[in-house]
Amino acid sequence: MTFETDIKRYINNNPKSKKLHDLAKKVMPGGDTRNSIYWNPFPIYLSEGNGSKVKDVDNNVRVDLVNNMTTLILGHNNKNVRKAIINQTEKGTSFPAPTSPIIELAQILCERVKSVEKIRFVNSGTEATLNAIRASRAFTHKQKIVKCEGAYHGNHDAVQISVTPDLSLAGSKNTPKPVKAFEGIANSATEDILIIPFNNDEVAEKIITENAEEIAAVIVEPINGQCGMIPAKKSFLEKLRYITKKHNIVLIFDEVISFRISSGGAQEYFDIYPDITCFGKIIGGGMPVGAFGGNKKIMNLWDPSKSKKYVQHAGTFNGNPITAIAGLTTLKSLKKDTYEKLNKKGDYLRNKLSDLFLEMEAPLTTTGVGSLFAIQCTADQVIDYRSYSKNDQVLLNKIFISLLNSGFLISNRCSGSVSVSNSYEEIDSFVLSLKKILSNLGY
């Protein structure tokens, strides 16, 4: 079976999705309002989800192994979360004054995350990292930030640099240059940032030390989502923690994705604690959410009762009760043994994939940790952006479309996450389908 046949099958199986996409293109650029869920020839349009499965407008049912980009840790349409949302909706959706559910959500996050003494809420991970960086500059009275090459920290100018840079523009591995992610990014963004390679202790220390007097913050994902759920080496995070403390630099952990691997997040998993943590995804129970929290000295910058020089922070839907109650219900459902069982499923999936690639002698590897996974279309070990960039993008796209045809949904970069609702039987079926796909591709 050729890939052209798979594309034809995809088009034939999804006529209503194609029709909706054609309609969407008339009113939205490219028919899209969220680039991460766009793909050629057109995306599927989903109509409902329940547990581990989603149904599209053409009544195709697929096993969901991405769970809205790692958000739905319990799976789709969890009955307790649904009931909590309905109950709150009957009381009201948003108000021009605080409500009590957000206090409970703040309490549970402060209790579970060792480094978080106080926390504030926003509506996206983007807003979380934006405010964390702003706080770092206010706290240190310095301007520059440091981020890793190949890391995504949201859609604002300060961090839309060197996300997936063209390597011909990105400098050498040991002296990476900042590259704008796209046109429209302010020129000052590249002037106010330094780029370090992920998982390279020595180079990171050199760059940070040489520029320490100008650096307000280092922001890092303990698990790099953009490059396929690559876990940081513990020594790398230890080095960042050591060097930032030494030079009065704020260390920010972006745990928007990684917070799902334990009740205290990746920082608990690695036993390394930042000054500020950014949250999103699972803490909203499927509703729009973001948050940033950390030690009192930094977080009190936002306290309007304590200082005339407080940092401004507003947002019509910040801490709204529907998001708060959905997030609170979700987090209360996640016990210690829940994470253990979930992470065992993730280990099982990655091990099955690794065994399959060896068995078929296919030039693929897998990355991830806990309940997170990715298929890497390269035989080389992927530890950073430069090694990730060796992925065969054509093969990756073939696998993605073929999996859709086979009844499985992962991200269009072939990464994903296991939810509480996903079963071992579904994982086995996923691996078997991938085996058939690779066989059809000649492996």
Catalytic machinery residues: 152, 254, 281
Secondary structure element (H or E) that encloses residue 55, with its range: strand 53-56
Residues 6+ apart with CB under 8 A from 353: 364, 366, 373, 375, 431, 434
Distances (CA, A) of 291 to 88, 148, 422: 21, 21, 27
Residues 432 and 6: their CA atoms lie apart, in Å, by 17
User: How far, in Å, CA of 208 to CA of 380, rounded?
Assistant: 28
Q: CA 46, 280, 43: angle at the middle one, nearest 5? A: 25
Q: CA-CA distance, 370 to 73, in Å (whole number)? A: 12
> Are 297 and 285 a contacting pair, CB within 8 Å?
no
**Residue 202's beta-bridge partner residues?**
none
3-class SS of residue 255: coil
What is the distance between the alpha carbons of residues 252 and 274, in angstroms, rounded to a whole number? 6
Closest of 9, 33, 8 to residue 21, by C-alpha: 33
Burial (CB count <10 Å: 0-12, 13-18, 19+), residue 67:
buried
Q: Which of 115, 131, 313, 136 is nearest to 222 (CA)?
A: 115
Pick from 249, 185, 186: nearest CA to 219: 249
The 3-state secondary structure of 81-98 reads HHHHHHHHHHHCCCCCCC
What does the alpha-carbon distance between residue 129 and residue 314 come to, in Å, rounded to a whole number? 15
Locate tokens 């009931």: which residue? 83
The answer to whether 22 and 15 have CB atoms below 8 angstroms apart is no
Q: Under a CB-based contact definition with an 8 Å cutoff, are residues 234 and 272 in contact?
A: yes
